[in-house]
Structure 1
Amino acid sequence: MIKFISSNGKAALAYASKLNWPVFPLHTPNKNHCSCQNPNCQSPGKHPRTKNGLKAATTNLNLIVGWWRKWPNANIGVVTGKESGFIVLDVDPRHGGEDSLKLLINQYGRLPNTIEAITGGDGRHILFKNPGHVKNRTNILPGLDIRGEGGYIVVSPSIHVCGKRYEWELSSRPLEVPLADMPEWLLRLIVEPVQDKPARKPDDYWVKIIQGVGEGERNMSAASLAGYLLGHGIAAPIAYELMLLWNERNDPPESIEVIETTFHSILKRDLKRLKGRRRA
C-alpha cells in the first residue's frame, strides 16, 4: 500500500499512524501560482483540496492513501486543537513576530523545549499541549497568531510558494521531543479578553517611547503608540504620519512595511471597538 505512494503521502501516513495527528491534503504552489488555478488565490499552497476542508482531516490510512494517490504533490495540513492534541504559536517575522516574541521572553522568561517547525516563509510554528478551549487568534501581538480549535498548520515536507520547504527544527522534531505545556503567562495572554479601557500608562512611559526605542522594543512600542494616538481621536492619516516620524528616532528604524502592518492592525481593532459601542 505504501510502496506506490509519493513522499508527501508517506509523510502524511506517518503523521497519522505514529503521532495520531489527523491530516488532510492542501493545494500545491507552482511557480508563484496555486494548483487551485485561481489567479487571485490569496493563500497558494495553504488551503484545502477537500470539499469539507479541515473537517475532512483523518487518521484513516486508507483515506490518506487515496488522497495522495489522487494528488501526489499535495501539501499536508494537520488540524490543531482537540483532534491533534496541540495548539500552535505562529511566529511571522515579516510582521514583526520575532521582535514581539523576544519582548515577551525578556519579560516573562524563555519558552520550554517543545516541538517546533521552521515554515517555508522563514517563520516558526511552536507547538504546545492542547490546554482545551483555545480558539484561533490573530495578532495577539504584531506577528504572533494562535492556531487552536478550528485551525490547522502546514507541515513538512510541504512546499511554500517561495520554493522553500517546511521542515522540523533539528533539535525539536516530533517523536524526539515531547510536547510541552504552554506557559501560564502565555496562556493568560491568549485567553483573557482585552479590556476596553486599559490602565492609563504614566507619562514617563510615553516620554521614553517618543525618544525612540531599540530593536527589541519597536513592535510593542509601535502598537502602544498607534493605540494612544487613535484612542485620543487623532485622524488615522495624521496618526500614521506621526508614526513614521517617530520611527526615524528608533535605533535602528523599523521597516515601513512592519510599521504599516502594526498600525493597520491597531486601527482595525479600534474600529471594531467603536462599532461595538455603537451597537450597545
Structure 2
Amino acid sequence: MLTPVIPIASGKKGPPFVKDWPHASLEALEEAMERYPGCNLALRLDRYLALDPDDQEAAKFLVKLEREGKLPPTVAWETWRGMIIRLYQRPVGLEPVKPNGSGMKLEIRTSPGQYVLIPDSTVNGKKYRWLPHVGPADIEVAELPAVTLSFIKDTLGRHREAKPATSASVSAWAELWQGLPKGSRNDAAAKLAGRLLGRGITGDEALEILRAWNANNHPPLSEAELVRTLQSIAKAEERKGKKDDAPTVLTATQLLARTLQKPPEIIGEGIFPEGAGMIVTGESGVGKSLLTLEMAVRLSHGIELWGLEVPRPRRILMVQSENPLHSVQFRLRRILVGLEVQGAPNVMLVDPAFRIDLANRKSLQDLKNILENSRAEVVILDPLSSYHRTNENDNVAMRGLLDNLTHLSRLTGCAWIVVHHHGKPQDGTRDIWQYRGASSIRDWADTMIALLNKKGMDKQILRLMRFDKIRNGPDRPPILLDRNQDFIHWPTQEDVLAPHTLVVATLEDMGGEAKSQRALSEEISKRAGCSLSTARRAVENAMNTWIVLKGGKVLIKQ
C-alpha cells in the first residue's frame, strides 16, 4: 500500500484539503480521507521518486530506457492525459528536478513538499488507471539504479543548455530564403511561422517576416494563404500554452462579461462550424462514401455545397477503410472532372492499412499525431464501425468513444464528419432513428444528415438528403439530389427525370427557340430516355420556377 495519501477535491489536481499537508501526520491524513469520500488521491513523495513525463519526447525517452533494461519494473500508472508515471524509492538527499521550458518535459518529483495524483483520481472527466501487472498490489516499488538516475539528470541538464545551431540547421533555414516552388511553400511557411511564434515574436512581426520570405518564392503564396497559415499556427501555439490547472468553474457574471464569438463556419447557416461533429447516415449502398468524397473536394476548394456556402478552402483528412485506394482514385478523378477543378492538394488520405481503435489510448495518440502533422481542419471518418470494437447499443460506451473525438478536436482544432450505417428497418421506428446503435450517437452529433434512396419517375433513383439534427442553426427542409456520371450530386425536383439544366441545354442546341412546347418536350424525351409526359413536366417546371421561356430566349429569373 502506498502512503501517505492526501485528499484533493474530485476532478482537481489541487490544492489538498489539508492545509499543512507537507508536514501532516499519517493519522491526520487518514482522518481527512474519511471526511472526504470520493475525493481525488495524491501520493506525498516523502519516500518516493516519480518520473513524470509531460510530452511525447519525454514519454519515448523513458520507454527507450525501459527497453534497454535501465529502468527496472516498478509501480506505474496512466494519467488522465495518457502519460505513464513510474514510481521509485527516493534516494537520500535527492532534490526535485523540473523542466525549464526547453527540451523534453520530464520532471523528477520527490521530497515531502511534492505529490502526484494516483488512481482512481479523475481530471477533466478522465480517470487515472493502474497499469496491468504493475499496480501496488502486484509489484513492489523498485530502486532506481544510481547510474540511470545520473544519466537522466545529465540528459535533462544537456537539454537546459543552449544548443548551438549546427551548420546543417543553419544551411536548411538559409535555403528557405532562396525561394521555394509549388508543393513546398505551405509546409515551409508553417515551419517558419512556428519558429517565429515559438521565440516570442508577435503575430504582426511574424507576418512581416513571412511576407519578406514569401517574396522570394516562385510563385509567392497569396496573402490570404499566408495569413491563414500564420493564424493556424498561432492557434496551435495557443493550445500548447494552455495550463492544465485552468479554472473549471465560471460564474454567470464572468460569462456575461466575456466577449465570445461564434466559431467560423466550414459550411454556412450553422450546418458545420469549426470544431463540430457531423454524422452522415444511410443504408448500405446508398452512396455515403461517394457523397463524403465529393464533400471533401468541395470543402478543399471552397466550393458551395448544394446551395450552402463554404466560406473558404479547408485542409481535409480522410480516414476510410471500406474502399481500396484504386477505387478512391477512380472516383476522385471523376469528381475533379465533374467539378472542373485541377487536383485536390488540400485533401489527404490515411493509408487504409493503418488501424485505429477509438477506445484505445495508444491509437488515439497515434491519431492525434497524424492530425497535428497534417494540420487537418476537417477529418472524414468512414465508417464509424471500422474504428472501434464497442457494442454500438451501449449508450455509455458509445458516448465515451465519440467524446474521444471531441477531445481530439479540442487538442487539434479539427472538425469531424463521421459516416455511420442505418440499422435493419423496424416497424414503427421514426425516420430520425433509422441509424444503427445507441441514442447517444445522435446526442453527440452537432449535425446529423441522413442519405436515403428515393425512386423518381421512370425508375429514376434519387437521393434524399435529410437534415435530422442541426444544433447550431435553424431546421432545414430535405434536399433531393440527383447524381451524374461524374459522381456529382445536384439538387433536383421530385419526379423530374430531366433537370432544368437539360431543358436549357436542349433549347440552346435548338438555336434558342423551339417551334412548340411539344417539340421541345419530344427532344428532351429522346435525350433523357424518359417518357413524353415526364419531359413535358420538366419544361413546365422550368417555365414556372427557374427559367422563363419567352420569345424563344432563355431568361433566368433574378
Pick the TM interval, shorter chain. 0.5 to 0.7
In 2, Cα distance between the equivalents of 1:264 and 1:239?
Answer: 22
1:237-263 deviations in whole A, cap 9, x for unaligned?
4786689x9xx9xxxxx9866645668
In 2, Cα distance between the equivalents of 1:165 and 1:208?
Answer: 43
Asked whether the equivalents of residues 28 and 46 of structure 1 are also in contact (C-alpha less than 8 Å), the reply is no
Question: What's 1:28 paired with?
Answer: 10
Question: What's 1:66 paired with?
Answer: 31
How much does 1:118 deviate?
A: 0.6
Matched, 1:179 2:142: yes
Counterpart secondary structure, 1:188: helix
Say which of 27, 31, 56 aligns to 1:98.
Answer: 56
Identity rate, percent? 15
Which letter maps to 1:121?
R
Asked whether the equivalents of residues 22 and 44 of structure 2 are also in contact (C-alpha less than 8 Å), the reply is yes
Structure 1 length-normalised TM: 0.54
Counterpart secondary structure, 2:74: coil
Question: What's 2:98 paired with?
Answer: 137
Structure 2 length-normalised TM: 0.30
Say which of 154, 165, 181 aligns to 2:117.
Answer: 154
In 1, Cα distance between the equivalents of 2:110 and 2:132?
Answer: 24
Question: What's 1:77 paired with?
Answer: 42
In 2, Cα distance between the equivalents of 1:103 and 1:258?
Answer: 24
Asked whether the equivalents of residues 108 and 185 of structure 1 are also in contact (C-alpha less than 8 Å), the reply is no
Asked whether the equivalents of residues 52 and 85 of structure 2 are also in contact (C-alpha less than 8 Å), the reply is yes
How much does 1:225 deviate?
A: 5.3
Which letter maps to 1:153?
V
Shift in alpha-carbon separation, 1:191–1:88, aligned structure 2, 3 A: farther
Matched, 1:51 2:15: no
More strand by percentage: 2
Question: What's 1:205 paired with?
Answer: 169
In 1, Cα distance between the equivalents of 2:10 and 2:88?
Answer: 27
Asked whether the equivalents of residues 18 and 32 of structure 2 are also in contact (C-alpha less than 8 Å), the reply is no
In 2, Cα distance between the equivalents of 1:117 and 1:169?
Answer: 5
Unaligned runs of 5+ in 2: 177-190, 214-225, 227-231, 244-558
Question: What's 1:88 paired with?
Answer: 50
Unaligned runs of 5+ in 1: 1-13, 16-20, 30-43, 213-220, 249-253, 266-280
1:131-280 correspondence runs (5 A): 131=91, 132-138=93-99, 139=101, 141-149=103-111, 150-160=113-123, 162-177=124-139, 178-181=141-144, 183=148, 184-190=150-156, 194-195=160-161, 198=162, 200-207=164-171, 230=199, 235-237=201-203, 259-260=237-238
How much does 1:179 deviate?
A: 1.8
Which letter maps to 1:188?
D
Asked whether the equivalents of residues 79 and 151 of structure 1 are also in contact (C-alpha less than 8 Å), the reply is yes
In 2, Cα distance between the equivalents of 1:206 and 1:107?
Answer: 31
Counterpart secondary structure, 1:49: coil
Matched, 1:121 2:81: yes
Counterpart secondary structure, 1:141: coil
Shift in alpha-carbon separation, 1:123–1:159, aligned structure 2, 3 A: same
Counterpart secondary structure, 1:117: strand
- Superposed CA RMSD in Å reads 4.4
In 1, Cα distance between the equivalents of 2:241 and 2:125?
Answer: 30
> Which of structures 1 and 2 has the bigger CA Rg?
2
Shift in alpha-carbon separation, 1:263–1:90, aligned structure 2, 3 A: same
Q: Which has the higher contact order (CA 8 A, sep 6+)?
A: 1
How much does 1:68 deviate?
A: 2.4
